[in-house]
Amino acid sequence: MSRLLARLLGRLPIGWLQLVHQRGRFAAALSGVAFANVLVFVQIGLMSSMGASTLRPYEFFQGDILISAADANTLTDGGNVARQWLLQALADPDVVDGMGVFVAMVPWDRGETDISLTTFGIDPFRTNFLAPEIAADVDVLQLKDAAILDRLARGLTREEAAAIRLQTPLSFETQGRTLTAYDTFAGGGGFGGDGYLLVSDQTFLSLFPARSSGAPDHILLQLRPGAEPDAVADRLKLLIADSTLRIRSYADAMDEEVRFQQTQRPTGVIFGFGVLIGVLVGIVIVFQVLSADVADHLREYATFKAMGYGQGFFLGVVIEEAVILGVLGFIPGVIAGWGILTLMATVTTLPLFISFEMAVIVFVGTVVFSALSGMIATRRLAAADPADLF
């Protein structure tokens, strides 16, 4: 290692030699950096899984434009949209088809655990609005009180989910009715609900008698191939008399919700703070260690100054130490972070993992922030006056 660094630096690897000479401090510094890394990994893992799980229900559908109520910050929030606007939207030459989507939370008493399913009411005859893997199975929704259940829902075991099929359906009581799941699909637990449920709009309205078929929660539009969703959305804003409605491309709707979840919802903000705290913890630890190290070596550094070494040399030594701490601390950090996220993923069924991109960003961030802390730590070097050595 010494030889390699000497090659790399073109000088004695003083920083490395200094670090390994004080094993206790070195180990403490490495665990500090690793700890900061774990914090950051867990937080951005949660954040990115929040992004992914926020977008998950959007993937059940196929559409180009989504019309929602003004206060519908998410798919499940906010008021509803009058169906008359769907008819009006169809007047635009680029709009070829439209469907109302109903959504509500449906509680399911599972004995020891009560879970809550995000339930979509859709038109089972309009399979063109559904993702192909879902569209293939929705025929059964034409049956009264039929449902397709999320096989990844929390509180449902793999075996239970696997057993659900047309011949052996699973029935359960909710909202004073008996729903029967004849099939399953891959949804996934999110931050808002424990899983998903698909029913027909008819079944949805019988579960929620207060809702009306004339006012779904969202309107999904499909455009003529080649049409520009943003341009059409702009035209629809003029065409549709209710100016409070949110009319935007499906892609924009997805972006808006992710941004909302990450910046407006407490969970998102907390994850953001978690990342900040992780970074701060890392900076403080590296700074503490390096400035203590500089303070311990003031006499040696003063001697080197007397011998003719300049500021650049000392900066180089401290940055060498910082980069070593960053690189070597990252390794246990990424391993522990991965372990913790994997464990959390099994417990929560959230898509929690460290992507290659995340790892690269955190690695670069760790090294850059370590180097910055190191630079700040060299300020104590000014106290090394070679004239005091004689």
Partner 1 sequence: MEDVDISIQTSALNHYFGTGEARKQALFDIDLQIERGSFIVMVGPSGSGKTTLLTLLGCLREIQEGSVTLLGQELRNATAAQNVRMRRRLGFIFQAHNLHQSLTAQQNVLMGLQVKGHLNQALSDKAAAHVLSLLGLAERLDYLPANLSGGQKQRVAIGRALVGNPDVVLADEPTAALDWETAAKVVDLLKQLGQARGTTTMMVTHDNRILDRADRILTLEDGRLVGDEDRRS
Span of 35-43, 94-102, 205-213, 302-310 interacting with partner 1 by CB under 8 A: 302-310
- Strand-pairing partners, residue 65, are 221, 249
Residues 98-117 contacting partner 1, CB under 8 A: none
CB of 389 to partner 1, least distance (A): 5
8 sits near partner 1 (criterion: CB under 8 A): no
Residue type, 288: Q
- Based on CB atoms, which residue is closest to partner 1, 34 or 302? 302
Closest to 56 in 3D by CA, of 221, 254, 251: 254
Q: What is the DSSP code string of 325-363?
A: HHHHHHHHHHHHHHHHHHHHHHHH-------HHHHHHHH
Q: How far is the CB of 388 from partner 1 (least distance, A)?
A: 9
Look at residue 186 and give its three-state secondary structure.
coil
CA distance 130 to 117: 19
The residue assigned the tokens 């520009």 is 228
Report the residue from 297, 337, 358, 370 that binds partner 1 according to the rule CB under 8 A.
Answer: 297
Q: Which of 1, 8, 11, 186 binds partner 1 (CB under 8 A)?
A: 11
14 binds partner 1 (CB under 8 A): yes
By beta-carbon proximity to partner 1, the closer residue of 298 and 331 is: 298
For the chain, give percent helix, strand, coil, nearest 5.
Answer: 55, 15, 25
Residue-by-residue DSSP string for 52-98 = HHHHGGGGGB--SEEEE-TT-SSSSSS----THHHHHHTTSTTEEEE
Q: What tokens does 187 get?
A: 């949804």
Distance, in Å, from the CA atom of 238 to the CA atom of 242, rounded to the nearest integer, reads 9
Q: Is 5 in the site for partner 1 (CB under 8 A)?
A: no
* Interaction between residue 386 and partner 1 (CB under 8 A): yes
Distance of closest approach, residue 329 Cβ to partner 1, in angstroms: 20
Question: Judged by CB under 8 A, which of 1, 4, 17, 154 binds partner 1?
Answer: 17
Q: Which is nearer to partner 1, 177 or 379 (CB)?
A: 379
Number of residues that bind partner 1 (CB under 8 A): 25
Q: Which of 210, 238, 307, 347 binds partner 1 (CB under 8 A)?
A: 307
For residue 167, the 8-state DSSP code is S
Smaller CB separation from partner 1, 9 or 281: 9
By CB under 8 A, residue 10 contacts partner 1: yes
**Which of 79, 93, 107, 310 is close enough to bind partner 1 by CB under 8 A?**
310
- Contact stretch for partner 1 (CB under 8 A) within 217-225, 277-285, 303-311, 319-327: 303-311
Q: Is 314 in the site for partner 1 (CB under 8 A)?
A: no
Q: Looking at 116, 288, 303, 348, which residue binds partner 1 (CB under 8 A)? A: 303
The answer to whether 299 contacts partner 1 (rule: CB under 8 A) is yes
Going by the DSSP 8-state scheme, the letter that residue 130 receives in this structure is: B
Distance CA 301, CA 311 (A): 10
Asked whether position 379 contacts partner 1 by CB under 8 A, the answer is no
Buried b (16+ CB within 10 A) or exposed e, 240-267: beeeebbbbbbebbbebbbeebbeebee
The stretch among 51-59, 63-71, 250-258, 304-312 that binds partner 1 (CB under 8 A) is 304-312
* Residues near partner 1 (CB under 8 A): 6, 10-12, 14, 17-18, 20-22, 297, 299-300, 302-304, 306-310, 386-387, 389-390
